[in-house]
């Protein structure tokens, strides 16, 4: 048996204490002086002068003494450091030897820790990159997001019109800069027209964010006026791909949507606002006289020293002033201050991450639970081993190692294990995060800022050391408990084993508690997601494909030219056999591009008076849209080619609207109009309600207008194809190219893709939480199995005696099973109680599922109980089949 | 000038200590007696200056120290050459010889010519 490093201490020279050093120097000098004095006396000098002569020959004893002490102290310090490093190294070497001697234990412990630490680090890198790290702009805490709110009208989150943007820009003096912006697909003209993702912004956009172009300049407020907006700032990526990073690009003119635009700047590579896919920024050409069209988002930079409250009061006052003058917005007698009408300013980071904050924190909490389960697992394994190692430790105590020294050795072992686990876990995390952030399925805000870097590394290291200390404590407490040499005497191990059993029992209960909590939370989220996927959306996403069909603005400015072109395209496409149905629409579900407007029903009071929701989602569609989307027409008829400009203005409403006004009767034949328009529209049909914004929310009312009567310059083509859409798409491209070579077919995506993106965060949460729960259950099962095996092994002697005196093997087996399941049941009961509290936190992640869903709360604990019982079974069988003779001989 | 002299003295003192210890372990007093006798009392004017040198050499690992009993039965600190110290002495002694004879030769010259 190897002694380990503890024994060395017994032979250490008592050299390092300051007092010892001084005394040694004094002794040395005294010897010298005494010898000199003696020699002088022997040479005949009188004793009284011999002493003085010896001192004077020595020189300045005080100075020399100081010098020697200083040297010795430095030396002692160096020795201490060397010894310390040497002992750490030898502890670590000893730890590695110990690990090699127990390869199964070591492998299980390292894999367990690697999973726990890896999951924690990976989650942390997401949380850090998305939630914790400041936005990549100077003084990001001064950036605020603007939205307007008019809850009485159902407009909780109202975007800005151009008039709104101009008024904040000019009058919100609490801010040093204000900008409004909106994303828009634009067409880059040329031999092969190409679709680009552009951002239309007002003049101070870059000033608000505090980022200047790396090349050239940003545009000014003067260039952000109608018909003056003919400049563009490129993204770094676009500059590289389209201009090869040529610095002479400034002054170059490109054709955007048929108008020439001069390139005046290139942004730095890491600038990605509002999203990383933006290829160029163009001045919006802000027209302050445009009251309607609420499509802009607003951001602003707060002046230093101004409070958020003051800025909020100022912006709200500006908005109310505007509302007072906006015709028809407020009923004549209503005072804006008495309504909920206000401008809300939210810190930009909060706004960007609001949808993912809760899921991320829940997932982070889940991995912390997993880490704790992993730590508990390794702790049970460690402390069970400590029982077996108690003789070795006692021997080291006898040989002079203090219990503190032994404790350090055990902790070094634990931390070495944890560090190896962390190295492995960190690599897993790095790979996982890389795969994750490069995956198309993930659409999280700021995900391009996520990565495994120094911060994550430090976090992982911290977690590893913390975990090592945590599970290292179990064996240390045990050795501290078992005093010197007691365990050297064989056969006295039972007592210490009992304390280990108690500790392990507590750890098992803790593990099962954590697993139950995690399993139930995951179960609820999973069930919600299943419900959500099976929600009736009102249309059928699968088998349908959507693509944008941007008509050149110049050519198809007016209705008379656009409509025949659209009809021609649809007619051609319908003759392609692979295309079962096709139509044009202004919006596809879950594209996030919703247009809504106020409305008025003939013969009914304006809806604002009732306080109920007063907005309707408006869409322009061609005949065949409902058929293509598989939206049921409940009453009336679809649009036909006869519904065109000049004929009776018609509309189709959905059941959400029809039910509100005509709960019993028929909406067909009734008339309604939009608040911004004076034309009465006759309802000719009622379509099924459609969920197209949030699958988890009640559908909002819709009204559809025929595209020939309500033209739309950026229509989307939807088609339902038979089988693989690739052939149909190729044919579509050919048709469109033949009819209009300037129109690029762009953004081709299956309809289910839009829905998938809208559900991406939920899906992500579901997948991760589900796998975390599975991981937790596996770890808990491993833990139960490990502890029960050790428990049985420790009691082999007792079982042998029982069976020798006539106990049935089955009785022994029952005993083991009973003890094991008792631990499991205790853990499950506490876990279920814990879960009822934990699941409250899930809140918005739950859809159509109670936070106390009985099925989840009953079935999952039962599953875990079954797993626990199975984990006990093998050790229990081993106990029952043990040979009494062998058992009795076992030490 | 004083610095140069003390540096010179220090390095020659270190070398002398190592030389003294090549005969075997010695205590500080013994070393001082040996140096005094071997250098006709030229180098070690103040015996105390020996001790910082000894402690410094110990710190550098060239000599090791141990407490023992002297001939006249007193407790004394004995110094012993370590392997590293022996190697150091073997390396330094020829260098010192070369330097010393070069300097002596130069100092004996009577003409500025280099021929």
For tokens 């390092």, name the residue.
Answer: A16
Say whether pLDDT at A834 is over 70. yes
Q: Hey, of B47, B54, B62, B73, which one would you mutate to test binding to chain A, going by the most A CBs within 10 A of its CB? A: B47
Mean pLDDT computed over A296-323: 90
Mean pLDDT computed over A408-418: 85
Say whether pLDDT at B44 is over 80. no
Mean pLDDT computed over A428-445: 76
Span A712-746, pLDDT tens digits: 777 899 999 987 888 888 888 888 888 888 777 77
Give, for A418, the enclosing helix (H) or strand (E): helix A403-437
3-state secondary structure labels for all residues of A11-39: HCCCCCCHHHHHHHHHHHHHHHHHHHHHH
> What pLDDT does residue A479 have?
63
B26 confidence band (pLDDT: 50, 70, 90): very high
Mean pLDDT computed over A52-79: 89
Taking the C-alpha atoms of residue A616 and residue A549, their distance in angstroms, rounded to an integer, is 25
CB–CB of B56 and A71 under 8 A? Answer: yes
More confident residue, A533 or A523: A523
A338 and A263 in one domain? yes
- Chain B contacts of A67, Cβ < 8 Å? 51-52, 55
> What pLDDT does residue A409 have?
81
Residue A128 lies in a domain: no
A694 and A828 in one domain? no
- Out of A304, A324, A351, a domain closes at A351
Residue A226 lies in a domain: yes
Torsion angles phi and psi, residue A768, rounded to 5: -65, -45
Say whether pLDDT at B4 is over 70. no
Mean pLDDT computed over A45-59: 88
Mean pLDDT computed over A389-402: 73
Residue A508 in 3-state DSSP? helix
For tokens 């995900």, name the residue.
Answer: A447
- Chain B contacts of A32, Cβ < 8 Å? 28-29, 32, 47, 51
Share of chain A above pLDDT 90, in %: 19
More confident residue, A839 or A608: A839
Check CB contact of A466 with chain B, cutoff 8 Å.
no
Which burial class, exposed, middle or buried, applies to A193 when counting CB atoms under 10 A from its CB (0-12, 13-18, 19+)?
middle
A275 and A239 in one domain? yes
> What pLDDT does residue A637 have?
93
Taking the C-alpha atoms of residue A661 and residue A604, their distance in angstroms, rounded to an integer, is 8
A369 and A298 in one domain? no
A374 and A329 in one domain? no
Arch. (CATH architecture) of B2-108: Orthogonal Bundle (1.10)
Mean of the per-residue pLDDT values of chain A: 82
> What pLDDT does residue A884 have?
67
Domains of chain B, by residue range, sit at 2-108
Mean pLDDT computed over A6-28: 64
Say whether pLDDT at A278 is over 80. yes
- Out of A329, A351, A373, a domain closes at A351
A639 and A601 in one domain? yes
Taking the C-alpha atoms of residue A864 and residue A439, their distance in angstroms, rounded to an integer, is 33
**Residue A421 and residue A112 in contact, taking contact as beta carbons nearer than 8 Å:** yes
Check CB contact of A763 with chain B, cutoff 8 Å.
no
**Residue B1 and residue B47 in contact, taking contact as beta carbons nearer than 8 Å:** no
CB–CB of A64 and B52 under 8 A? Answer: yes
A487 and A371 in one domain? yes
Taking the C-alpha atoms of residue A764 and residue A498, their distance in angstroms, rounded to an integer, is 45
A593 and A520 in one domain? no
DSSP string, A606-623: -GGGGTS--EEEEEEE-T
Decide the pairing of beta strands A175-188 and A671-674: unpaired
A298 and A259 in one domain? yes
Number of other residues whose CB lies within 10 A of the CB of residue A115:
22
More confident residue, A230 or A444: A230
Taking the C-alpha atoms of residue A266 and residue A280, their distance in angstroms, rounded to an integer, is 9
Residue A592 lies in a domain: yes
> What pLDDT does residue B8 have?
64
Residue A101 lies in a domain: no
Lowest mean pLDDT across A371-385, A626-640, A670-684, B50-64: A371-385
> What pLDDT does residue A582 have?
93
More confident residue, B42 or A37: A37
Say whether pLDDT at A236 is over 90. yes
**Residue A732 and residue A594 in contact, taking contact as beta carbons nearer than 8 Å:** no
Say whether pLDDT at A664 is over 70. yes
- Chain B contacts of A23, Cβ < 8 Å? none
Residue A619 in 3-state DSSP? strand
Taking the C-alpha atoms of residue A98 and residue A370, their distance in angstroms, rounded to an integer, is 26
Span A251-271, pLDDT tens digits: 999 998 888 999 999 999 888
A5 confidence band (pLDDT: 50, 70, 90): very low
More confident residue, A676 or A118: A118
**Which two tokens mark A651?**
């509309």
Residue A287 lies in a domain: yes
**Which two tokens mark A48?**
């009284």
> What pLDDT does residue A437 have?
78
Residue A879 lies in a domain: yes
DSSP string, A291-349: -----BEEEEEEPTT--HHHHHHHHHHHHHHHHHHSTTTS-TT--GGGSS-EEEEEEHH
A175 confidence band (pLDDT: 50, 70, 90): very high
**Residue A579 and residue A726 in contact, taking contact as beta carbons nearer than 8 Å:** no
- Out of A63, A91, A119, a domain closes at A91
**Residue A703 and residue A687 in contact, taking contact as beta carbons nearer than 8 Å:** no
A484 confidence band (pLDDT: 50, 70, 90): very low
Taking the C-alpha atoms of residue A700 and residue A653, their distance in angstroms, rounded to an integer, is 11
Residue A487 lies in a domain: yes
Taking the C-alpha atoms of residue A39 and residue A37, their distance in angstroms, rounded to an integer, is 5
Check CB contact of A64 with chain B, cutoff 8 Å.
yes
Give, for A280, the enclosing helix (H) or strand (E): strand A280-283
Cis-peptide, bond into residue A274, ω within 30° of zero: yes
Residue-range definition of the domain harbouring residue A644: 551-743
Lowest mean pLDDT across A418-422, A466-470, A881-885: A881-885
A597 confidence band (pLDDT: 50, 70, 90): confident
Span A765-823, pLDDT tens digits: 778 878 888 888 888 777 777 777 776 776 777 777 888 888 888 888 888 888 888 88
CB–CB of B48 and A60 under 8 A? Answer: yes
Check CB contact of A32 with chain B, cutoff 8 Å.
yes
Residue A113 lies in a domain: no
CB–CB of B49 and A59 under 8 A? Answer: yes
Taking the C-alpha atoms of residue A651 and residue A674, their distance in angstroms, rounded to an integer, is 11
Smallest CA–CA separation between A82 and chain B, in Å?
A: 13
Mean pLDDT computed over A689-715: 85
Check CB contact of B77 with chain A, cutoff 8 Å.
yes
A367 and A346 in one domain? no
**Residue A496 and residue A439 in contact, taking contact as beta carbons nearer than 8 Å:** no
A419 and A446 in one domain? yes
A374 and A263 in one domain? no
Question: In chain A, how many domains are there?
Answer: 4
Which value does ipTM take for this structure? 0.88
Say whether pLDDT at A90 is over 90. no
Span A533-572, pLDDT tens digits: 778 888 988 889 999 887 776 666 666 677 888 888 899 8
How many residues would you count in chain A?
Answer: 891
């Amino acid at each position: 048996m190897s002694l380990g490093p503890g024994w060395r201490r017994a032979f250490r020279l008592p050299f390092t204490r300051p007092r010892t050093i001084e005394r040694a120097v004094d002794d040395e000098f005294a010897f010298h002086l005494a010898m000199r004095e003696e020699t002088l006396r022997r040479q005949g000098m009188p004793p009284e002068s011999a002493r003085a002569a010896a001192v004077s020959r020595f020189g300045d004893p005080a100075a020399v003494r100081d010098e020697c002490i200083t040297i010795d102290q430095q030396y002692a310090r160096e020795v201490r450091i060397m010894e310390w490093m040497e002992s750490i190294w030898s502890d670590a070497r000893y730890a590695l030897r110990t690990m090699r001697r127990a390869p199964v234990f070591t492998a299980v412990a390292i894999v367990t820790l690697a999973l726990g630490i890896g999951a924690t680090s990976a989650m942390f890198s997401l949380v850090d990159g998305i939630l914790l790290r400041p936005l990549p702009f100077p003084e990001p805490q001064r950036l605020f997001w603007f939205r307007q709110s008019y809850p009485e009208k159902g407009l909780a989150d109202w975007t800005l019109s151009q008039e709104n943007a101009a008024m904040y820009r000019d009058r919100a003096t609490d801010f040093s800069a204000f900008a409004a912006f909106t994303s828009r697909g634009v067409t880059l003209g040329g031999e092969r027209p190409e679709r680009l993702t552009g951002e239309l912004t007002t003049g101070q956009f870059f000033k608000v964010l505090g980022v200047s172009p790396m090349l050239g300049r940003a545009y000014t407020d003067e260039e952000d006026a109608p018909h003056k907006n003919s400049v563009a700032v490129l993204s770094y990526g676009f500059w590289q791909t389209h201009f090869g990073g040529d610095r002479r690009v400034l002054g170059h003119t490109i054709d955007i949507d048929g108008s020439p635009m001069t390139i005046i700047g290139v942004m730095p590579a890491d600038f990605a606002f509002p999203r990383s896919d933006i290829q160029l920024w163009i001045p919006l050409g802000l027209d302050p006289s445009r009251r309607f069209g609420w499509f802009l988002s607003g951001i602003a930079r707060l002046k230093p020293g101004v409070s958020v409250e003051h800025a909020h009061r100022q912006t709200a006052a500006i908005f109310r002033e505007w509302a007072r003058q906006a015709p028809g917005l407020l009923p004549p007698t209503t005072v804006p201050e008495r309504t909920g009408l206000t401008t809300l300013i939210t810190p930009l980071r909060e706004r960007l991450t609001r949808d993912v904050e809760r899921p991320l924190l829940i997932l982070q909490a889940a991995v912390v639970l997993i880490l704790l389960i992993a730590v508990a697992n390794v702790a049970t394994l460690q402390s069970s081993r400590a029982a077996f190692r108690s003789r070795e430790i006692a021997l080291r105590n006898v040989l002079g190692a203090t219990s503190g020294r032994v404790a350090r050795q055990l902790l070094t072992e634990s931390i070495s294990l944890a560090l190896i686990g962390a190295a492995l876990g960190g690599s897993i995390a790095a790979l996982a995060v890389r795969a994750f952030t490069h995956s198309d399925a993930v659409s999280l805000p700021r995900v391009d800022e996520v990565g495994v870097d120094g911060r994550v590394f430090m976090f992982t290291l911290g977690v590893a050391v913390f975990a090592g200390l945590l599970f290292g404590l179990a064996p240390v407490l045990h050795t501290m408990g078992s005093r010197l040499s007691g365990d050297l005497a064989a056969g006295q191990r039972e007592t210490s084993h009992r304390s280990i059993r108690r500790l392990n029992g507590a750890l098992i209960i803790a593990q099962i508690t954590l697993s139950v909590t995690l399993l139930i939370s995951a179960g609820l989220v999973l069930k919600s997601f299943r419900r959500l996927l099976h929600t009736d959306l009102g249309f059928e996403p699968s088998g349908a494909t959507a693509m944008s069909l941007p008509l050149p603005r110049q050519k198809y400015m007016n209705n008379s030219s656009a409509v025949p072109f659209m009809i021609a395209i649809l007619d051609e496409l319908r003759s392609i056999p692979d295309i079962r149905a096709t139509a044009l629409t202004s919006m596809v579900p879950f594209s996030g591009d919703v247009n809504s407007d106020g409305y008025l029903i003939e013969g009914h009071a304006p809806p604002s008076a009732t306080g109920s929701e007063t907005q309707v989602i408006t869409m322009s569609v061609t005949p065949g849209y409902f058929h293509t989307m598989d939206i049921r027409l409940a009453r009336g008829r679809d649009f036909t080619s006869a519904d065109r400009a000049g004929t009776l203005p018609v509309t189709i409403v959905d059941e959400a609207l029809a039910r509100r006004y005509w709960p019993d009767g028929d909406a067909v034949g009734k008339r309604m109009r939009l608040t911004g328009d004076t034309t009465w529209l006759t309802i000719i049909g009622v379509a099924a309600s459609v969920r197209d914004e949030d699958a988890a929310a009640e559908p909002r009312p819709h009204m559809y207008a025929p595209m020939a009567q309500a033209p739309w310059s950026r229509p989307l083509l939807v088609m339902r194809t038979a089988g693989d859409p690739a052939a149909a798409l190729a044919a579509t491209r050919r048709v469109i190219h033949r009819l209009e070579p300037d129109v690029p077919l762009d953004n081709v995506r299956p309809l289910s893709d839009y829905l998938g993106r809208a559900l991406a965060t939920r899906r992500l949460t579901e997948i991760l939480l589900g796998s975390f729960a599975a991981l937790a259950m596996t770890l808990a099962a491993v833990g139960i199995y490990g502890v029960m095996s050790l428990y049985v092994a420790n009691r082999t002697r007792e079982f042998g005696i029982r069976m020798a005196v006539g106990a049935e093997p089955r009785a022994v087996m029952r005993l083991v099973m009973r003890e094991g399941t008792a631990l499991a049941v205790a853990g499950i009961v506490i876990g279920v109680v814990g879960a009822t509290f934990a699941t409250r936190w899930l809140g918005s992640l739950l859809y159509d599922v109670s936070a106390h869903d009985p099925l989840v709360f009953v079935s999952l604990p039962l599953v875990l109980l079954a797993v626990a019982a199975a984990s006990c079974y093998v050790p229990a069988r081993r106990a029952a089949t043990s040979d009494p003779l062998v058992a009795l001989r076992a030490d | 000038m004083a610095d140069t002299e003390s540096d010179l003295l220090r390095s020659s003192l270190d070398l002398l200590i190592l030389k003294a210890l090549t005969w075997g372990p010695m205590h500080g007093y013994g070393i001082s007696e040996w140096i005094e006798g071997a250098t006709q009392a030229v180098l070690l004017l103040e015996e105390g200056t020996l001790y910082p040198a000894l402690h410094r050499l110990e710190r550098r690992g060239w000599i090791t120290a141990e407490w023992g009993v002297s001939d006249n039965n007193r407790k004394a600190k004995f110094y012993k050459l370590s392997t590293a110290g022996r190697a150091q002495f073997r390396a330094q002694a020829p260098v010192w010889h070369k330097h010393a004879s070069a300097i002596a030769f130069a100092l004996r010259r009577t003409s500025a010519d280099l021929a």
